[in-house]
């Protein structure tokens, strides 16, 4: 695109120069040179801006990846803690149920003993 633009400007300048006086030719040539330099500068600036934008986008993506990893690690830790809490509560509940079942068995045994004594009497 840039080469085409430069070629078109140079072509128009040459056509215009063929019909002009020597001073007009020089001025036109200088103007065409200035246009070419401006086009080169604009292209270089655009390239630098694109490169800077790509660098910034890469940095943002990298930062987002790091943050996502940290969030995932935090979520894993929280889930691990929650699982440990559930396991502890389940073990405590099982112990309480075991104790309660033992007491029921003891009471049933005592009741059976009393019933046996009444039968003997």
Map 54-65 to HEC letters. HHHHHHHHHHHH
Type and span of the H or E element at 15 = helix 2-18
Average pLDDT across the chain, whole number: 83
Read off the pLDDT of each residue in 19-30 and give the average, rounded to a whole number.
70
Whether the per-residue pLDDT at 1 is higher than 80: the answer is no
Residue 92: the pLDDT is: 93
Give the residue, 111 or 49, on which the prediction is more confident. Answer: 49
Residue 74, both tokens:
């935090």
Residue with tokens 């009497």: 121
Please report, for the chain, the start and end positions of each structural domain, with discontinuous segments joined by +: 2-120
pLDDT per residue as tens digits for the range 63-98: 999 999 999 999 999 999 999 999 999 999 999 999
């Amino acid at each position: 695109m840039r080469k085409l633009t430069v070629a078109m400007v140079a072509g128009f300048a040459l056509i215009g120069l063929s019909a002009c006086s020597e001073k007009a030719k020089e001025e036109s040539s200088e103007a065409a040179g200035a246009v070419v330099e401006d086009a080169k500068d604009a292209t270089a600036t655009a390239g630098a801006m694109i490169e800077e934008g790509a660098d910034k986008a890469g940095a943002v993506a990298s930062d987002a990846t790091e943050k996502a990893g940290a969030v995932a690690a935090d979520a894993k830790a929280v889930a691990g803690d929650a699982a440990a809490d559930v396991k502890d509560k389940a073990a405590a509940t099982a112990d309480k149920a075991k104790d309660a079942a033992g007491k029921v068995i003891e009471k049933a045994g005592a009741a059976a003993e009393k019933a046996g004594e009444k039968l003997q009497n």
